[in-house]
Amino acid sequence: MPQRKPLHLHVPEPTGRPGRDTDFSYLPLSAAGAKRRPPVDVAAAQTNDLAFALIRVLDDAGQAVGPWAPQIAPDTLRRGLRTMMLTRAFDARMLIAQRQKKMSFYMQCLGEEAIACAHALAIGDGDMCFPTYRQQGLLLAREDNNMVDMICQLYSNARDPMKGRQLPVMYSSKKQGFFSISGNLATQVIQAVGWAMASAIKGDDKVASAWIGDGATAESDFHTGLTFAHVYRAPVILNVVNNQWAISTFQAIAGGEGTTFAARGAGCGIASLRVDGNDFLACFAATKWALERARSGFGPTLIEWVTYRAGAHSTSDDPSKYRPATDIQRFPLGDPIARLKQHLIALGIWSDAEHEATQKAVEAEVVAAQKEAEKFGTLIDAHTPSIESMFEDVYQQMPAHLQRQMAQVKQLEGQV
Amino acid sequence: MSQMTMIQALRDAMDVMLARDPNVVVYGQDVGYFGGVFRCTEGLQKKYGNQRVFDAPISEGGIVGTAVGMGAYGLRPVVEIQFADYVYPAFDQIVSEAARLRYRSAGDFTAPLTMRMPCGGGIYGGQTHSQSPEAIFTQVCGLRTVMPSNPYDAKGLLIASIECDDPVIFLEPKRLYNGPFDGHHDKPVVPWSSHPLGEVPEGHYSMPLDKAAIVRAGATVTIIAYGTMVHVAQAAATESGVDAEIIDLRSLWPLDLDTLVASVKKTGRCVIVHEATRACGLGAELASLVQEHCFYQLEAPIERVTGWDTPYPHAQEWLYFPTPKRVIDALQRVLEA
């Protein structure tokens, strides 16, 4: 009998920890423009190579190169950049408001702005996104974005569309194609597939867009979502935002070591792309491709967006306890705003002066919305919505037991 | 009126609603072509096509999760979980999503789903084909939990559940699918055709989701039961000669408190009967409500006759299942107290 070595449990570790730089060579990259753009009716199995590659459009000089370079009007490009800047300004301002205790909690999307903002500009009215808590760009990128309502939700104030029932950032806006956010991870992925199945059942042409982070792909609903999307050829885009981190756990702990998240889609028979999530043009082009594929009845697409969570997980998190502070400067895909800015300047449709003016304008826009929202109270004002609103909407009509409980609270609070 | 088994009545309810509302869709494991392992959806796919009635992968979380998404789109899904014992993988979708969607979105999105699942024992189903998990659902705010005990109620309650804009857990006692069962397993099976509630109206009718039924009027003790236990309680009353008032809850939560309270105030005694395990079962909430609302009229401690606090056994089926003998024993205790 040969001598066997004792087994050893493999527990993946990030290469970088506080005080030790990350070795980003674990990320398979491809040169900008290097990857082919298949027709939208491609058989899923014919995209397997793209699930292990990286679709990129913007090169280091800010030039749009290769078959994925989209035809985008200069106005749309400028709007895309402005939208990303607005999203970043919104996050920065709300982070401060949380520190001032005007709200209990906040989550930024710093560094991930391109994915949601480009997606929002690409998809159509009537399509439905099923976001996580880190796609605020989907709302802010809309021409009819309602920042005041968003801030009222964050403040749980008298104008909060969610009536103070939801933790901050758990927005819902049906009319803006933004499904109600749940704290339970991954649940929305299979719901998006169901929404897409409904669109197909009714002979509609609307598409659903499902969102999930790298960490949450380990939840069973992710697997379930892929299976149902594949089985019923549902018109859905399955977006996996791989920002490398799930709170403190590196993406390898979610199952990313030696593989990609796009590969999961390929394994389930779903056309799959892996895309530079900090490249606005690649984000826009890949979304348009998946959207056209879905809308034409060719089935679902999984897109892994490779990016980096530049900020803390939430206002309750301190990333310096588990990862190097230098990571964001060393991440090979850079910053999405800086890269699009470089491209627009190279095209001659943007300038440093315009950038500065836009920065001031978006900051002023956020400040104005914040001032308006504060007229309806903040958390620190103890400006809570009504007793009734706590008991309403549990059911369509309030059952007798809830009426009795509501009467009890009202009596205690002297509101009979 | 037609003679129907509970299976036929449930199928008829889905047939009526599929014809009436183009947004109703029916799906689940083996539900489509084959017509369901209990035949409850037989012929529906052939009649309405595979865009309305279809087979699903073996994924309870996926079945309920897609239904939540379809509800958000505007459909009215009626999904089947093959056995209530297998609902647990869908738990996150039911509790965190379907039940909370209206509340958390302030009515922006709703989940008008009906989740059908065969439940209950008395069929030598062993541990994973006999469970009665209703208390797991009645505890979830935002859900309605319903359980019929006869073909007439089954059709009316299922139509009402499908039409209801709240998510409904619709539990079907599979022991009652083909005929009433009073717990006497040694006697021949009785078909629904010999039972008055096997007479089911044609076409559309619905029954309120928050109303109990007094299935036997009585003066000395109130028996609160639902599902198969309604028939067990009736047998116990007949055989013991106790003048019991038997209430079939039908809607387990939210429930018809007024009917319970009025009955116990009249009789002064109360026995609660369910198949589910005892500790923290629905009986505990029922006993608590009766105690709270009828304390000064109660002349004896409230008794509970339930399944034991064990997993559902196979060989010991009739030691576990609450039989008329056990109900009679409890009736005697409350009458002697």
Proportion of chain A above pLDDT 70, given as a percent: 99
Task: Mutate one of A160, A390, A393 to test the B interface: name it (highest B CB count within 10 A).
Answer: A393
Q: Is B166–A395 a contact, with Cβ atoms under 8 angstroms apart?
A: yes
3-state secondary structure chain A: CCCCCCCCCCCCCCCCECCECCCHHHCCCCCCCCCCCCCCCCCHHHHHHHHCCCECCECCCCCECCCCCCCCCHHHHHHHHHHHHHHHHHHHHHHHHHHCCCCCCCCCCCCCHHHHHHHHHHCCCCCEEECCCCCHHHHHCCCCCCHHHHHHHHHCCCCCCCCCCCCCCCCCEHHHCECCCCCCCCHHHHHHHHHHHHHHHCCCCCCEEEEEECHHHHCHHHHHHHHHHHHCCCCEEEEEEECCEECCEEHHHHCCCCCCCHHHHHHCCCEEEEEECCCHHHHHHHHHHHHHHHHCCCCCEEEEEECCCCCCCCCCCCHHHCCCCCHHHHCCCCCHHHHHHHHHHHHCCCCHHHHHHHHHHHHHHHHHHHHHHHCCCCHHHCCCCCHHHHHCCCCCCCCHHHHHHHHHHHHHCCCC
Mean pLDDT computed over B66-78: 98
Query: Mind telling me how many Å the CA of B4 is from chain A's nearest CA?
Result: 31
Task: Mutate one of B27, B68, B94, B103 to test the A interface: name it (highest A CB count within 10 A).
Answer: B103
Q: Is A165–B89 a contact, with Cβ atoms under 8 angstroms apart?
A: no
Say what the ipTM of the complex is.
0.97
Residue B195 annotated in active site: no
Torsion of CA A74, A80, A81, A86, to 10 degrees: 140
Vertex B186 angle, CA B185 and B192, to 5°: 55
Mean pLDDT computed over B6-25: 98
Q: Which residues of B are less than 8 Å from A172 in CB distance? A: 104-106, 108-109
Contacts of A76 (CB under 8 A, 6+ apart): A121
Query: Mind telling me how many Å the CA of B104 is from chain A's nearest CA?
Result: 6
Nearest to A161 among B106, B144, B210 (CB): B106
Q: Which residues of B are less than 8 Å from A401 in CB distance? A: 254, 257
The per-residue pLDDT for A384 is 74
Query: Mind telling me how many Å the CA of B154 is from chain A's nearest CA?
Result: 22
Q: Do B215 and B189 form a contact (C-beta atoms < 8 A)? A: no
Question: Would residue B49 be called left, alpha or beta, if left means φ above 0 and alpha means ψ between -120 and 50 degrees?
Answer: left
Longest dimension (CA), chain A: 84
pLDDT for residue A300 is more than 90: yes
> Strand A245-246 to strand A301-306: parallel, antiparallel, or no bridges (unpaired)?
unpaired
Length of chain A equals 416
pLDDT band (50, 70, 90) for residue A247: very high
Q: Which residues of A are less than 8 Å from B59 in CB distance? A: 224, 227-228
Proportion of chain A above pLDDT 90, given as a percent: 97
pLDDT tens, position by position, B240-252: 999 999 999 999 9
Chain A residues 98-157 within an 8 A CB cutoff of chain B:
128, 130
Decide if A321 touches B, using CB distance below 8 A.
no
What's the token pair of residue A335?
């910053």
Query: Mind telling me how many Å the CA of A162 is from chain B's nearest CA?
Result: 5
pLDDT tens, position by position, B144-175: 999 999 999 999 999 999 999 999 999 999 99
Q: Is A208–B69 a contact, with Cβ atoms under 8 angstroms apart?
A: yes
Decide if A191 touches B, using CB distance below 8 A.
yes
pTM of the model: 0.98
pLDDT for residue A118 is more than 70: yes
pLDDT tens, position by position, A200-225: 999 999 999 999 999 999 999 999 99
Q: Which residues of B are less than 8 Å from A159 in CB distance? A: none
The per-residue pLDDT for A1 is 65
Q: Rounded CA gap, B88 and B84, in Å?
A: 8
The per-residue pLDDT for B337 is 82
pLDDT tens, position by position, A363-374: 999 999 999 999
pLDDT tens, position by position, A250-289: 999 999 999 999 999 999 999 999 999 999 999 999 999 9
What's the token pair of residue B190?
């009785």
Q: Rounded CA gap, A291 and A389, in Å?
A: 38
The per-residue pLDDT for A381 is 83
Q: Which residues of B are less than 8 Å from A187 in CB distance? A: 65, 92-93, 96-97
pLDDT band (50, 70, 90) for residue A379: confident
Q: Do B107 and A393 form a contact (C-beta atoms < 8 A)? A: yes
Mean pLDDT computed over B70-74: 98
Interface of B with A (CB under 8 A): 25, 51-52, 57, 59, 61-62, 65-70, 72-75, 89, 92-93, 96-97, 100-110, 141-142, 144, 164-166, 210, 254, 257
Candidate list B129, B185, B274, B293, residue with the active-site label: B129
CB count within 10 Å of CB A36 equals 12
